Amino acid sequence: MALIVKKFGGTSVADKERIFNVARIIVDDYKMGNDIITVVSAQGDTTDDLIMKAKEINDGDISKREMDMLLTAGEQISISLLAMAIEKLGCPVISLLGWQAGFTTDSNHGIARIKNINTERIKSELAKKNIIIVAGFQGINKYDDLTTLGRGGSDTSAVAIAAAFHAKRCQIYTDVDGVYTADPRKVRGAQKLSEITYDEMLELATLGAQVLNNRSVEMAKKYNVELEVLSSLEKKVGTIVRENVKMEKMLIRGVTSDKDVATISVVGLKDSPGIAFKMFNKLAQFKINVDMILQSVGRNGTKDITFTVSRSQADIAIESIESLKSVFNYSEISKDVSVTKLSIVGAGMESHPGVAAKMFEALYDSNINIRMISTSEIKISVLIDEKQTEKAVQAVHDAFLA
């Protein structure tokens, strides 16, 4: 009796057995009287295999337009196979490519943004009581060329469809059964959350809880689409992501760690006006994302600036600063890639001043040194030694969530 959007990733449709597993989930909900629009990704490693084929042909700069032409074939295969499985189970079904489903995007091949969804075709197929299978990750630009939405694009496709059709819910199926307070494979006592806000989910996603793609959560928040993260393998209720969540006893929703962090230290900067601004401006020109920043007074009236970037950007960050050594006038620059960012996330912490203190105490009790700190309204992050990651996550989780 409701319109439900479902999304299955590549692992969920990797082979015949999994395709039928997905087909059964869809058919069960359809038979309960629901309208179903399902978004799927390319099967298993298809996308990676196609990229490898392309790189074999051309190891230099491949035209992004041709790459999108190649990659979009992946979902074309998975949607038709899934439709065939649903047919085999005896239900009416139709598969639609991104452009057939009405996805128009801008022309940034490889990282295109959805501009509009023309809902006509899907509406007419829903009117015929067809189950609809849509190729995720892809659309078409104004020149009639195929485009892709970039990493996590199928999540974005699903949320966009849910928004366009005012779906009751957008179910994102994964290989975990919901969002946890910490990685349950690594942290004792990690608990599944029944609900979480968009903002909390965004912080968790950014911080390395690889459950939902950020762009899709942002879009869900913007259009107020209720998400559910749930398992494609076990039939049970997942975690709901929405704006208003019942207050629970928990102050924080989760503890996460992110090892993709490097610190860059610029030591002995001559203190001239606007020097920090110039440095971060330079880094921005190189599209380097700076996260935490620590500025301190050094010897002889100089300044030291330490900041964090992702590990893959550490060397280019150093190069971009070195290219202006005469301007910045520092004595030394160095990087450290043996660090981890540990964070706690929770919308409740805003109104509870003791949260930071409790976190620092838990770390202190476990002899873990804090190197940098950054906070937002719903998040506190600290930088620690990478080797202490597991111990630190467990200690903080125990303090708040045990």
One residue of 24, 65, 282, 391 binding a second copy per CB under 8 A: 65
84 binds a second copy (CB under 8 A): yes
Report how far residue 82's alpha carbon sits from residue 198's, in angstroms, rounded to the nearest whole number.
Answer: 31
One residue of 33, 60, 274, 301 binding a second copy per CB under 8 A: 60
141 binds a second copy (CB under 8 A): no
Ordered DSSP codes for 253-278: SEEEEE---EEEEEEEEE--TTHHHH
Residues near a second copy (CB under 8 A), total:
38
Report how far residue 115's alpha carbon sits from residue 124's, in angstroms, rounded to the nearest whole number.
Answer: 21
100 binds a second copy (CB under 8 A): yes
One residue of 56, 185, 236, 297 binding a second copy per CB under 8 A: 56
One residue of 37, 83, 131, 161 binding a second copy per CB under 8 A: 83
Cβ nearer to a second copy, comparing 145 with 336: 145
41 binds a second copy (CB under 8 A): no
Tell me the sheet residues that pair with 307. 264, 293
What is the separation of C-alpha 159 from the centre of its chain, rounded to a whole number of angstroms? 13
Report how far residue 295's alpha carbon sits from residue 362's, in angstroms, rounded to the nearest whole number.
Answer: 25
Q: Is 387 exposed, middle or buried (0-12, 13-18, 19+ CB in 10 A)?
A: exposed
Stretch that binds a second copy, among 66-74, 103-111, 320-328, 382-390 (CB under 8 A): 66-74
318 binds a second copy (CB under 8 A): no
One-letter identity of residue 187:
V
Round to the nearest angstrom and report the end-to-end CA distance of the chain.
Answer: 40
Beta-strand relationship, 372-376 and 379-385 = antiparallel
Cβ nearer to a second copy, comparing 141 with 181: 141
Beta-strand relationship, 138-140 and 146-148 = antiparallel
19 binds a second copy (CB under 8 A): yes
Cβ nearer to a second copy, comparing 63 with 338: 63
Among residues 363, 367, 348, the alpha carbon closest in space to that of 394 is found at: 363
One residue of 45, 106, 145, 218 binding a second copy per CB under 8 A: 145
Stretch that binds a second copy, among 54-62, 107-115, 254-262, 293-301 (CB under 8 A): 54-62
Cβ nearer to a second copy, comparing 93 with 384: 93
**Ranges within 265-294 binding a second copy (CB under 8 A):** none
Report how far residue 136's alpha carbon sits from residue 117's, in angstroms, rounded to the nearest whole number.
Answer: 13
Q: From the CB of 91, what's the least distance to a second copy, in Å?
A: 12
- In order of 278, 310, 396, the CA distances from 362 in angstroms are 38, 26, 6
One residue of 11, 64, 87, 110 binding a second copy per CB under 8 A: 87
Cβ nearer to a second copy, comparing 144 with 377: 144
- In order of 314, 321, 322, the CA distances from 326 in angstroms are 20, 10, 9
What are the structure tokens assigned to 101, written together? 């489903």
One residue of 14, 50, 267, 290 binding a second copy per CB under 8 A: 50
Q: From the CB of 119, what's the least distance to a second copy, in Å?
A: 14
**2 touches 213 (CB < 8 A):** no
Q: From the CB of 86, what's the least distance to a second copy, in Å?
A: 10
Q: From the CB of 334, what's the least distance to a second copy, in Å?
A: 40
One residue of 28, 48, 52, 58 binding a second copy per CB under 8 A: 58
One-letter identity of residue 344:
I
195 binds a second copy (CB under 8 A): no
What are the structure tokens assigned to 17, written together? 């057995």
Q: From the CB of 135, what's the least distance to a second copy, in Å?
A: 10
Contacts of 168 (CB under 8 A, 6+ apart): 2, 3, 4, 226
Report how far residue 120's alpha carbon sits from residue 141's, in angstroms, rounded to the nearest whole number.
Answer: 18
36 binds a second copy (CB under 8 A): no
127 binds a second copy (CB under 8 A): no
Q: From the CB of 82, what's the least distance to a second copy, in Å?
A: 9
One residue of 11, 21, 34, 80 binding a second copy per CB under 8 A: 80
What are the structure tokens assigned to 116, written together? 């509009």
Binding residues (CB under 8 A) for a second copy: these are 16, 19-20, 50, 53-54, 56-58, 60, 62-63, 65-67, 69-70, 72-74, 76-77, 79-81, 83-85, 87-88, 94-95, 97, 100, 121, 144-146
